[in-house]
Chains A and B, each alone.
Chain A
Amino acid sequence: MGFGVALLLLSTALPNVLSARHDREQARMDYTYDLTEPPKADDTLVISDVDTTFRDKDVRGRLMEPEGPRAPLPPGVSRFPGPGEMVVSPALRKLLAADGSALLRERLPYRIIGDIGESGLVGSQELAYYAGGSGLAARVDGSQTARLTEFGDPNPTTEEPDPVLVLLNIVVIVALLMPVAVFIAAAVRFGGERRDRRLAALRLVGSDSRMTRRVAAGEALAGALLGLALGTGFFLIGRQVAGSVELMGVSVWPSYLDPSPALAALVAVAVPSAAVLVTLLALRGVVIEPLGVVRAAKPARRRLWWRLLLPVAGLAMLYPMVGQGRDNGDFNQYLVVGGVLLLLVGITALLPWLVETVVGRLGAGGVAWQLAVRRLQLSSGTAARMVNGIAVAVAGAIALQMLFAGVDGQYTQETGQDVRRAQMQVGLPDGVPMAATVQQFADTKGVRKVTALWEGYLGDTSWDTETGPGLSTELTVGDCAALREVAKLPSCANGDLFVLEGAEYSVDGPALNRPGRKLYLESYGRGDVAEVTWTVPAGVGTARSITDPAGSRRGGFLMTPAAMPEDVARTVRGELYLSVDESVPDASDHVRNTAARVDPLADPTNWTATRTSARYDSLRTGLLVGAVCVLLLIGASLLVSQLEQLRERRKLLSALVAFGTRRRTLTMSVLWQTAIPIALGLLLASVVGITLGGVLLRMSDTPVGVDWASVLAMTGTGAGVVLAVTLLSLPPLLRLMRPEGLRTE
């Protein structure tokens, strides 16, 4: 019960975790996305985003250059690092010091002069650094490099929540908490048989039936209070431990895990009340006699009709929202919570009936099968209780997987990037020399091919006016092989020039292609450098645009290096498309190191065919983290209840072994006893999960489709947990079967 309470308290702290992480992120925000930078002053700071990735871990990086004594310090940093110095997060310090981090040390060749404090990090395991930069002012562009007077979002906006994401959020929370509640209800009944014997002894010394029930309720209350105390203790320990772990890329600080007072109070009241209620309900079927004999009162046959009412009521609550979609406002949260809750609780009501009905019809087989089936027939309720938690968790997971799979397309965008032609792209700041840079990347370990294109924008008038040019187009520079990646060229030699036809967006090229016409190169972010112009020469060829590696059909002019005037070369920015041999270890990191050597502001990225929405992604990660915690808890609960049942039967097991029963027979019998209810539980979970998933998909106005692979994966995971628990309980089972168990006989 302590574990359950700890998990409940953890979930009451989740809203605080989310808002704390969001607040920290907002407080250190340094993107201005503003074209009107503040002028240089004694309170300004120039900062560049130099985020990187080491293997599969993201590293948040910034270069900073204060422009005066009153320049703002980022949260968690007490002084500015000078050029060649950096302050790092504790996790990055550890990673840099680790064996196997040589490539990262080479990429961040700065001297560590201090740590970033907690207030500057969103999680305890976040990898982050602030390094001192120089000459950044000339590179202010409003996006990668910005001038700031303070940290924090200058234009905070409140995003209207997506109803489908809110729906997902609610279902995730209910689906994760329900198994915990089921687990707590089951935990209250641990040790039930021992308690019944104790109560019988009380009857013997004169306690009447009513007093016995009061004693049982008192015991349950005391147990629940102890569970609350232990749970609080586990939570406090877990809170500290949470500060040193990372689950699926998410880490927190212990200070984030502050339960919301109202929810914590609800847990404190609900857990003992539920414990007393469950105990009194469980005692209804038990006759405790004064002679110390405890007999289960002959249980009435379980009725199906009222058990069906729960899921039917759940469906009825969800039904009014079918077809609502994301365009008809928010879903009614009370109906969603109530509906999902009733459907999942329905499993715990239906499963005992299903187990009783099915095992009642199972015939005799071998001795192991007979022992298991007879045991299940005698106490199908205990067996159903054992698998209730797993069944509820699996049903919730199936429904969520279906919902996720259904709406996946709405939150996943095709990037257009052709990952067969290139696997990495490196954006180079303007002014980086072409030939030497290309050679450096070509010589990098793991790089197969480099397609280098330098890009700029041309306008018919100066860019330094309020309205900007009327006509504008792209300029792409590269050798003939590189240009053939973006256009179908009739013929090509160094010195040739082409204008593109068939462009997707930048269609002004042919109109600007007038020999002698002066065009202006965009130069934003190049400080006070004079605007560069280029005059369209005669004899510009025509080429047809084709889809480039990045997935677009570009327009404007194509220029071979010999046709590019020297001043134009200083204005264009390089984009390198790299074909990388993924079988070379750390190939991507070698590329990132080359990029950092060429220019710290170079921006290497790995290509992916699709990109998912960050909020959707974090929800999915949250579900996975939660599901892992819940499955561990349920696994632990199953193990405890399995061991308790075995201990209760210690003497019988020893006696069976004494008269020659093979251990294998008894082991198989225990396996069957677990396998039969779990198979039924998973079957029911699949039916309820698919139904709930279908309803949720209809609610979000998404075509209903069953993702059988995830149904199998979820039921397989549930079965895996049970198998693991059964395997873990085998050594104690074999110990209990030792004849020494007869010593007290």
Chain B
Amino acid sequence: MSAPAGSLLAAVDLRKAYGSTLALDGAEFSIHPGEVVAVMGPSGSGKSTLLHCLAGIVPPDSGSITYDGRELATMSDARRSALRRSEFGFVFQFGQLVPELTCVENVALPLRLNGAPRKQAERTALAWLERLEVDDLRGKRPGEVSGGQGQRVAVARSLVTGPRVIFADEPTGALDSLNGERVMELLTEAARSANAAVVLVTHEARVAAYSDREIVVRDGKSRDMERVV
């Protein structure tokens, strides 16, 4: 089976095992530019492993992943890192902001890793903080802000480099429903306006509701569930 035409990122027949535990067993996936796809499934079903494989963080044992027509499996670690730095963005469940950096420095970090000068990077970062309504936190450290605020900063960080794909792994998992909804609104709005695709891993139906399409992963196998909007 080959990747669907026009897809930005696609995976075919992915298999991945951790020791004797089979995490992915022939999983399939595809996403188009500007599309938001929710990957759903119970705990331990292989959702996060699928996301890590798609993002080039973990190489699959077998199967193919193509991004923009390029095969991820044949890329060196350095090339995959460069891809993650410049074309992918990440949001994790607990934000994973660097605790010693201020919020604006955290958001500027991916730009600086790409070689942008500090002042320019921080100017761009501040613009994203404003867009996510947390610019008043610019000088605060992650330990001094609430979970919801921290997650918005993390979303700003994931968008700051203008990525073509954003990987969000349970981005609202640690937030209350009000904060979770606001974070999802901001994430999907910003992604859509930037024509960035979003791979959204979640087990919550209300979070998945922000997506254009859902994929359910169970026992390492994926099943596409077309949503009727």
- B residues near A177, Cβ cutoff 8 Å: none
Contact segment of B34-42, B95-103, B127-135: B95-103
Contact B118 A662 (CB under 8 A): no
A308: Cβ under 8 A from any B Cβ: no
A77: Cβ under 8 A from any B Cβ: no
- B residues near A743, Cβ cutoff 8 Å: 18, 48-49, 52
Known contacts A367-B112, A652-B96; is-contact A659 B90 (Cβ 8 Å): yes
Contact B109 A367 (CB under 8 A): yes
Which residues in window 464-491 of A have CB below 8 A to B?
none
Contact B113 A742 (CB under 8 A): no
- Measured CB to CB, the nearest residue on chain A to B90 is A659
Which residues in window 108-145 of B have CB below 8 A to A?
109-110, 112-113, 118, 141, 143
Q: Give Cα A440–Cα B91 distance, bound, in whole angstroms.
A: 88
Which residues in window 152-206 of A have CB below 8 A to B?
none
A735: Cβ under 8 A from any B Cβ: no
Q: Give Cα A743–Cα B57 distance, bound, in whole angstroms.
A: 11
* Complex partner residue of B58 from A375, A660, A662, A739, CB under 8 angstroms: A739
Which residues in window 96-141 of A have CB below 8 A to B?
none
Contact A658 B84 (CB under 8 A): yes
- B residues near A740, Cβ cutoff 8 Å: 58
How far is the CB of A741 from the nearest CB of chain B, in Å?
10
Contact A662 B113 (CB under 8 A): yes
Contact B48 A378 (CB under 8 A): no
Contact A661 B113 (CB under 8 A): yes
A371: Cβ under 8 A from any B Cβ: yes
Known contacts A739-B52, A745-B169; is-contact A660 B110 (Cβ 8 Å): yes
Contact B84 A659 (CB under 8 A): yes
Contact A378 B113 (CB under 8 A): no
* Complex partner residue of A742 from B57, B83, B110, B141, CB under 8 angstroms: B57
Q: Digitize A46-89: 1 where CB-to-B-CB distance is under 8 Å, 0 elsewhere.
A: 00000000000000000000000000000000000000000000
- Measured CB to CB, the nearest residue on chain A to B78 is A662
Contact A378 B141 (CB under 8 A): yes
- Measured CB to CB, the nearest residue on chain A to B157 is A659
- Measured CB to CB, the nearest residue on chain A to B49 is A743
- A residues near B98, Cβ cutoff 8 Å: 371, 374, 652, 656
Contact A364 B118 (CB under 8 A): yes
A214: Cβ under 8 A from any B Cβ: no
- A residues near B94, Cβ cutoff 8 Å: 745
- A residues near B48, Cβ cutoff 8 Å: 742-743, 745
* Complex partner residue of B57 from A367, A662, A739, CB under 8 angstroms: A739
Q: Digitize B15-55: 1 where CB-to-A-CB distance is under 8 Å, 0 elsewhere.
A: 00010000000000000000000000000000011001001
How far is the CB of A179 from the nearest CB of chain B, in Å?
28
A27: Cβ under 8 A from any B Cβ: no
- A residues near B18, Cβ cutoff 8 Å: 743
B105: Cβ under 8 A from any A Cβ: yes
How far is the CB of B39 from the nearest CB of chain A, in Å?
15
- A residues near B99, Cβ cutoff 8 Å: 378, 652
Of the candidates B84, B85, B98, the one having the most CB atoms from chain A within 10 angstroms of its own CB is: B98
- A residues near B55, Cβ cutoff 8 Å: 658
Q: Digitize B165-176: 1 where CB-to-A-CB distance is under 8 Å, 0 elsewhere.
A: 000010000000
B81: Cβ under 8 A from any A Cβ: yes
B195: Cβ under 8 A from any A Cβ: no
Contact B96 A660 (CB under 8 A): no
Contact B101 A659 (CB under 8 A): no
Which residues in window 373-388 of A have CB below 8 A to B?
374-375, 377-379
Q: Give Cα A148–Cα B135 distance, bound, in whole angstroms.
A: 95
B82: Cβ under 8 A from any A Cβ: yes
Q: Give Cα A399–Cα B98 distance, bound, in whole angstroms.
A: 41
Contact B92 A660 (CB under 8 A): no
Which residues in window 657-679 of A have CB below 8 A to B?
657-662, 665
Q: Give Cα A378–Cα B89 distance, bound, in whole angstroms.
A: 27
B179: Cβ under 8 A from any A Cβ: no
Contact B100 A660 (CB under 8 A): no
B86: Cβ under 8 A from any A Cβ: yes
A22: Cβ under 8 A from any B Cβ: no
How far is the CB of A739 from the nearest CB of chain B, in Å?
4
* Complex partner residue of B100 from A295, A375, A655, A658, CB under 8 angstroms: A375
Q: Give Cα A739–Cα B55 distance, bound, in whole angstroms.
A: 11
Contact A367 B113 (CB under 8 A): yes
B7: Cβ under 8 A from any A Cβ: no
Known contacts A371-B100, A374-B101, A743-B48; is-contact A658 B57 (Cβ 8 Å): yes
How far is the CB of B141 from the nearest CB of chain A, in Å?
7
Contact B96 A662 (CB under 8 A): no
Contact B81 A657 (CB under 8 A): yes
B62: Cβ under 8 A from any A Cβ: no
A370: Cβ under 8 A from any B Cβ: yes
- Measured CB to CB, the nearest residue on chain B to A293 is B143
Contact B105 A374 (CB under 8 A): yes
* Complex partner residue of A377 from B82, B88, B100, CB under 8 angstroms: B100
How far is the CB of A471 from the nearest CB of chain B, in Å?
89
A554: Cβ under 8 A from any B Cβ: no
Q: Digitize A230-266: 1 where CB-to-B-CB distance is under 8 Å, 0 elsewhere.
A: 0000000000000000000000000000000000000
Which residues in window 709-745 of A have CB below 8 A to B?
739-740, 742-743, 745
A651: Cβ under 8 A from any B Cβ: yes
- B residues near A377, Cβ cutoff 8 Å: 100
Contact A745 B96 (CB under 8 A): yes
- B residues near A657, Cβ cutoff 8 Å: 57, 81
Known contacts A652-B96, A739-B52; is-contact A660 B101 (Cβ 8 Å): no
- Measured CB to CB, the nearest residue on chain A to B77 is A663
Closest 7 CB pairs of A and B: A660-B85, A655-B96, A660-B84, A374-B100, A739-B57, A378-B100, A375-B100
A–B complex contacts, Cβ < 8 Å, 25 sampled = A367-B112, A371-B98, A374-B98, A374-B100, A374-B101, A377-B100, A379-B100, A652-B96, A652-B99, A655-B90, A658-B52, A658-B55, A658-B57, A658-B84, A659-B84, A659-B158, A660-B81, A660-B83, A660-B84, A660-B85, A660-B113, A661-B109, A743-B52, A745-B93, A745-B94
Interface residues of chain B, those whose CB is within 8 Å of chain A, are 18, 48-49, 52, 55, 57-58, 81-86, 88-90, 92-94, 96, 98-101, 105, 109-110, 112-113, 118, 141, 143, 158, 169
Interface residues of chain A, those whose CB is within 8 Å of chain B, are 295-296, 364, 367, 370-371, 374-375, 377-379, 651-652, 655-662, 665, 739-740, 742-743, 745
If A370-B118, A374-B98, A660-B86 are given as contacts, then 7 extra A-B residue pairs at C-beta distance below 8 Å, sorted by A number, are A371-B101, A652-B96, A660-B82, A660-B88, A743-B52, A745-B92, A745-B93
